[in-house]
Structure 1
Amino acid sequence: MERSTRQRTAIRNTIEQSERPLAPQEILALAQAEVPQLSLATVYRNLALLQEAGEISTVLLPGDSARYESVHLDHHHHFQCQKCERVFDIPGCVGDLLNSVPRGFVVERHEITLYGTCKGCGPTAKAGGKKRDVSGAATAHSHSHKSHGH
């Protein structure tokens, strides 16, 4: 990779310090605290360089634009809020999925995304009432996310 620039360092730091995968627009807004003149084109250019260098990974969810996160995270899954569309990390794994794989099949990786309403968008966010359960099953899908060892 080319020499590190102030912009690239700010973008890398923003992703490394985030507790969830970020969209390019979110990265821009957060990294501008460190580099006010940063542009979205510069963010996209540096995301491509950081990804090519193996420093960040891409989170792809069906029907959504790419988000980016650190490659230094342990195996985990994601939760996407259906109201604000933010994506959150769910640490760990849901359990031993290998028991449900047909005999003779070989699992190379897996991805699981839960969909629902985040704490910030839920019923208790506006009305002080008791939060109701969000019904909905986990949706399994596969996408390229090899840097996490899936």
Structure 2
Amino acid sequence: MPLSLQPLTPATLHRAKAAEAERRNALAAERQARDAAEEANRQKDLFVGVVSHELRTPLSAILGWTQVLQRQPGLDAARQGIQAIERNVRTLARLVDDLFDVTRMAANQFELHMCEADFGDIVEAAVHTVQPAAAERGVTLQ
């Protein structure tokens, strides 16, 4: 297909300038949208960090009181419930810590420490967590 050159007329010059202006406007809009998305992401990370920090305070108080109550004599009937509360508070505290870790990862302030895990302990903790609900429904866990 042969290439044909058209003469430069005021109309084609005007169309070329309009197309260039449209391209510049589209680039500026894209930059503005990207900046807004990055700011929204920073705000989300800040929010997750604040929520994680605020959740730690009541969880620490609940955990402390469960430990105090478990040491009291005469609470044998309630001790199992208190232990369940403690396990679940510890689980919630780990979730909060995980949320906080996500915030630190986003801010490039996270260090990963590898360690061995005892899967028996993990399974036992999971069984203890769901045991009351299972017993309530007549389900036996082994």
Please say whether Structure 1 and Structure 2 have the same fold, judged by a TM-score greater than 0.5: no
Q: Which range, TM-score by smaller chain?
A: under 0.3
Structure with more helix by fraction? 2
Structure with more strand by fraction? 1
Whose Rg is larger? 2
TM-score, normalised on structure 1? 0.21
